[in-house]
């Protein structure tokens, strides 16, 4: 008699836990975005540490000389063979208000440099500011929501 009761409790706990995981509120930036040039798509996601990250999930030109493009400009020679698709380029972004995100870094695989970064959410667009030192000395790129 007790065995079915414990099975029922276990099933209830499992279903409840699965429901909580599936109904986690997704943040407004947790989507797939085109970079400004529309040459890549970046998936922004929230990690277990509560911060946001972004990885390249698509390239308009994924091949170079018939092989997948790799991170050939990376200053760390050991990482130059990493494929660009799947590369995490946005790291440690924290939500800082309703539409502001800050305290991140953004890596540019075109030149192998990493910049400080902050983002402003604007509906179907993200204004991404990359900079060295202070944000006044930097560049803003606009990412658009991918299809």
> Is the predicted pLDDT of residue 120 greater than 90, yes or no?
yes
Give me the mean pLDDT over the 12-24 stretch: 46
Identify whether 9 is part of a domain: no
What confidence tens digit (pLDDT) does each residue in 99-108 have? 999 999 999 9
Residue 128 near residue 143 (C-beta atoms within 8 A): yes
Identify whether 11 is part of a domain: no
> Is the predicted pLDDT of residue 16 greater than 90, yes or no?
no
> Is the predicted pLDDT of residue 35 greater than 50, yes or no?
yes
CA nearest to 28, candidates 131, 104, 109, 126: 126
> Is the predicted pLDDT of residue 22 greater than 90, yes or no?
no
pTM: 0.82
Structural domain count of the chain? 1
Range(s) of the domain holding residue 99:
26-145
Identify whether 73 is part of a domain: yes
């Amino acid at each position: 008699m007790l065995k079915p009761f414990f099975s029922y409790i276990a099933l209830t706990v499992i279903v409840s836990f699965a429901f909580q995981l599936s109904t986690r509120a997704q943040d407004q930036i947790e989507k797939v975005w085109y970079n400004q040039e529309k040459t890549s798509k970046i998936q922004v996601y929230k990690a277990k540490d509560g911060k946001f990250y972004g990885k390249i999930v698509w390239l308009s030109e994924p091949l170079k000389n018939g092989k997948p493009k790799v991170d050939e400009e990376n200053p760390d020679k050991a990482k130059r063979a990493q494929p660009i698709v799947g590369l995490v380029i946005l790291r440690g972004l924290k939500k800082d208000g309703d539409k502001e995100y800050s305290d991140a870094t953004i890596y540019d695989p075109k030149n192998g440099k990493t910049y400080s970064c902050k983002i402003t959410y604007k509906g179907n667009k993200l204004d991404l500011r990359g900079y060295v030192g202070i944000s006044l000395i930097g560049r803003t790129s606009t990412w658009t929501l991918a299809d």
